Amino acid sequence: MEIEIPIKKWSGKIRAVTIGTEKNGITIGGEDTLPFHHFEGSIPNKPIIAFEVQDIYPSDWLDVVKEPYGEYLKNPIEWAKAAVVKYNADMVCLNLLSTHPDRENRSADEAAELVKNIISEIDVPLIIKGPGSSEKQNQVLNKCGEAGAGKRCIIASAVEDNYKTITAACQAYGHIVVAETPIDVNLAKQLNILISDMNFPPGRIIIDPLTGGLGYGLEYTYSVMERIRLQALGGDAMLQMPFICFVGQEVWRVKEVKVDESVEPLWGDMKKRGICWEAATAITLLLSGADILVMRHPEAINIVRKSVGRLMEK
Amino acid sequence: MALTGLEVFKLLPNTNCRECGFATCLAFAMRLAAKKIEAEECPYLSEEAKEILGASAVPPIRLVEIKSGDKSVKIGEELVMFRHEKKFFHQTAFSVCIDDSEDEREITEKLEKIKKINFERAGEILKLDLIAVKDTSGDKQKFCKTINLIKNFIDLPLILFSENPEIVTVGLEEIPDDKPLIYSANNENWEKMTELAKKYNASLAITAEDGLKGLSELSERIKNKGFENIVLNPKCRSLTEILTNYTLIRRLSLENNYRNLGYPIILYLENEDNFINSAVGICKYASIVVFNDVNDWEYLPLLTLRQNIFSDPQKPLQVEPGIYKVGEPDESSPVFVTTNFSLTYFIVSTEIEGAGFSGHLIITDAEGLSVLSAWSAGKFSGEIVGKFVINSGIENNISHRNIIIPGYVAVISGELEDSLPGWNVYVGPQEASDIPSYLKEVWSKEN
């Protein structure tokens, strides 16, 4: 007796978004089915992993994560180059942490200079991540957007209370905007509508659903992504955007990756445990639809990259 | 497959006779669909309706129980494809495989490790559930000896890992009071295996080549022999195939009411890519994962992932109310108060520690709600928080009388000061992520 395989065809499709220039462009999204459901739909583009690079020495990073980058960490340009040359990064995420008023409060001009230099030194597409603090976020992302004009970078992030300046900058300089909302289907949709209402093309929006790390809310992100994706495939045009998940920053600050095995012998080798923590978080998010994962540890990235390859086999 | 109220309604006579005790057939249908009453309470059901309703009462995925003494592992009886639709009911059971060709010392070492795996997290104990005994030696005596070694050491239900009915027989005889899982029956040995499983009250995993079709045909043959405690082992050659087959099995049983595959799934991980494959299995419908070997550092992430995925999306995980130490607080360390929503607790404590501070974290009983929800539900008012702080006994542990409240409930600060005479209430940041800068910029300067 043959089994009739129940195939689901959806009316909706995730928008394909190309990041980068004609020379180095990478396309994500474009799928018309649930994550890795090759048996019933088309998934033209694989999920991409971006290496997180900070604009300042990451003194608060664990040695475990700093060790693979060594001396390169002292110079963000060298760091970005190492990610690309040494670890074959497909994409780099420049985190402009030092511009935050509570940190070094570096100027928007300084950040823009760095963006310009990084773009000229590496040949992979770039994600530019602002400091988050509202006023400064606008200044920094506007200047950096200008510095990267025409390079089709991803600019992170616009939020509901603060999206206009950032969207306008992405509009003016030809970038892609990240729309960040706190783990909620309706808020995600609403922000996409607000941004689109500024005549910004929906095909240049990426959703940041807000990532909870493993053990720290991962299941909330997982389910909200599943719900957004189901609604998008069901035909909701204002949710048919790819997802970006900032994994590394959530994973590498939790207790379970920081405590040494001499304190918790049953937890096992701290370094390997941390790598597993980041990889497990990333894999779970891939299964709920992540299109871009921003990560830190090269070994975790390697594990996830290999898994993406296996999940993309038809 | 569960029917909706309206689907049930269409099967009823629609006479509104009230003999069932309800005013209308529709009201009866709604209660029946919610499984609050039995179909028999309607005296006028047609035979056809009885049959449909009867079938809908059988769970689409069978519940299978694997037991040893009072230790019981239940798997199956799942109702949804996605956890947000309701929840995933029975979490993936973790099993480690013990090979009977290994010597006693190696086995004991392995068992000692298994026994130690026991993590407390968010009010739950995370541990392994099953042990599989594999018949690599091909020697009945060795198989029995290994079973006894395990049973003397640790009380967990067993998986008898063998395709040889003779070996399975002697294994079952060693543990006549248990309900183990036999792994596994195939197209050659299934008749003998089915008899054994029946005789010894065991459950039976089945393996077949030829994908879902082969599996479905084998399960039907076994079911026709009157045995139904079946677990499916779909042979998969790649990670994509695991994801595809497991998804299709769940979909066929839930959405197409396809009975032959309405059983839980077992995933055996031989060696390579264990970690990733098991993570995929946890998220995507594996009811049992059997590891040949697990590295120490992989247990905590995998058990935590399982806890995350199988938590109830409608019911926030709670932590016990009380005073929690963050870092190594002393009498001058700051005091924080927040609700017992476990995510709130985790994030707040992580931020305090991440900022390099120690503190006393008071967790009130807010029924697992987050700060704003608890406040709007009247469970985090100044009075309630004040009473809780006094009753907590924190005053004996600290030399100061300063307390930091979440920024979202700044409005309760006045009321809180009234119910905490002699205390100063500090309004902290709204978001936990701003705690580090708050502690450095505000708190440290004033204290």
> pLDDT per residue over A172-195, tens digit each?
999 999 999 988 999 999 999 999
The mean pLDDT value for B221-240 works out to 96
Q: Are A27 and A18 in contact (CB under 8 A)?
A: yes
**Is the predicted pLDDT of residue B347 greater than 70, yes or no?**
yes
pLDDT in tens, A248-287: 999 998 889 988 898 889 999 999 999 999 999 999 999 9
> What band does A1 get if pLDDT is binned at 50, 70 and 90?
low
| Model confidence at A156: pLDDT above 70 | yes
Is the pLDDT at B123 greater than 80? The verdict is no
* Chain B residues with CB-CB distance to A283 below 8 A: 276, 279-280
What are phi and psi for residue B151, nearest 5 degrees? -65, -30
Give per-residue pLDDT as tens, A292-308: 999 999 999 999 999 99
CA–CA distance, B78 with B86 (Å, rounded to integer): 10
B244 DSSP 8-state letter? H
End-to-end CA distance of chain B: 62
Q: Is the peptide bond before B184 cis (omega within 30 degrees of 0)?
A: yes
Q: Do A273 and B307 touch (CB under 8 A)?
A: no
Name the residue among A219, A226, A266 with its Cβ closest to that of B311: A219
Mean pLDDT on A115-120 = 98
> Nearest by CB to B296, which of A212, A268, A277?
A268
Task: Write down the CATH superfamily of domain A17-312.
Answer: Dihydropteroate synthase-like (3.20.20.20)
Neighbouring residues of B271: CB distance < 8 A, sequence distance ≥ 6: B292, B293
Question: Would the pLDDT of B56 be above 80?
Answer: no
Q: Measured between beta carbons, which residues in chain A are less than 8 angstroms from residue B82?
A: 223, 226-227, 230
Give the tens place of pLDDT for each residue, A128-142. Answer: 999 987 889 999 999
pLDDT band at A237 (very low <50, low <70, confident <90, very high): very high
Q: Tell me the mean pLDDT in the region B264-283.
A: 92
* Amino acid, single-letter form, for residue B142: K
Q: Which of residues 101-120 of A touch B (CB under 8 A)?
A: 102
| Helix/strand/coil percent split, chain A, to 5 | 45, 15, 40
Count chain A–chain B contacts defined by CB atoms under 8 A. 147
Q: What is the pLDDT of residue B346?
A: 85
Residues 200-239 of A with CB under 8 A from B: 212, 214-220, 222-223, 226-227, 230
pLDDT at B441: 86
Nearest Cα of chain B lies from the Cα of A193 at a distance, in angstroms, of 24
Domains and CATH numbers, chain B: 5-57 (1.10.15.40), 64-309 (3.20.20.20), 322-446 (3.40.50.11600)
Among residues A91, A94, A89, which one has the least CA distance to residue A110? Answer: A94
A273 touches chain B (CB under 8 A): yes
Rounded to an integer, what distance in angstroms lies between the CA atom of residue B172 and that of residue B262?
Answer: 26
Residue A29 pLDDT: 98
Judged by CB atoms closer than 8 Å, whether chains meet at A1 and B84 is answered as no
Q: Which of A1, A215, A287 sits opposite B283 (nearest CB)?
A: A287
Is B373 buried (19+), middle (13-18) or exposed (0-12) by CB count in 10 A?
middle
Alpha helices in B154-268 (DSSP H): 165-174, 190-199, 211-224, 239-255
pLDDT at A68: 98
Segment B183-192, tens digit of pLDDT: 999 999 999 9
Each domain of chain A, given as residue ranges in start order, spans 17-312
Distance between B82 CA and the closest CA of chain A, angstroms? 8
pLDDT surpasses 80 at A94: yes
Q: Give the phi and the psi of residue A276 in degrees, each rounded to 5.
A: -65, -40
Residues of chain B above pLDDT 70, percent: 99
Question: Could you tell me the pLDDT band of residue B267, with boundaries at 50, 70 and 90?
Answer: very high
Percent of chain B surpassing pLDDT 90: 73
Q: Output the pLDDT for position B284.
A: 98
Average per-residue pLDDT in chain B? 92
Pick from A102, A222, A277: which is nearest to B301 by CB? A277
Contact A266 B117 (CB under 8 A): yes
| ipTM, two decimals | 0.97
Find the helix packing angle between A298-312 and A270-287, rounded to 10°. 30
What is the pLDDT confidence band of residue A75, given thresholds at 50, 70 and 90? very high
CA distances (Å), origin A148, targets A89, A115, A126, A226, A295: 19, 7, 9, 33, 22
Rounded to whole angstroms, the Cα distance separating A195 from A175 reads: 13
- CA–CA separation, B147 and B107 (whole Å): 11
Chain B neighbors of A217, CB-CB under 8 A:
343, 346-347
Torsion angle in degrees (nearest 10) through CA of B82, B84, B87, B91: 60
Strands B93-99 and B71-75: what pairing?
unpaired
Tell me the average pLDDT across B100-108: 95
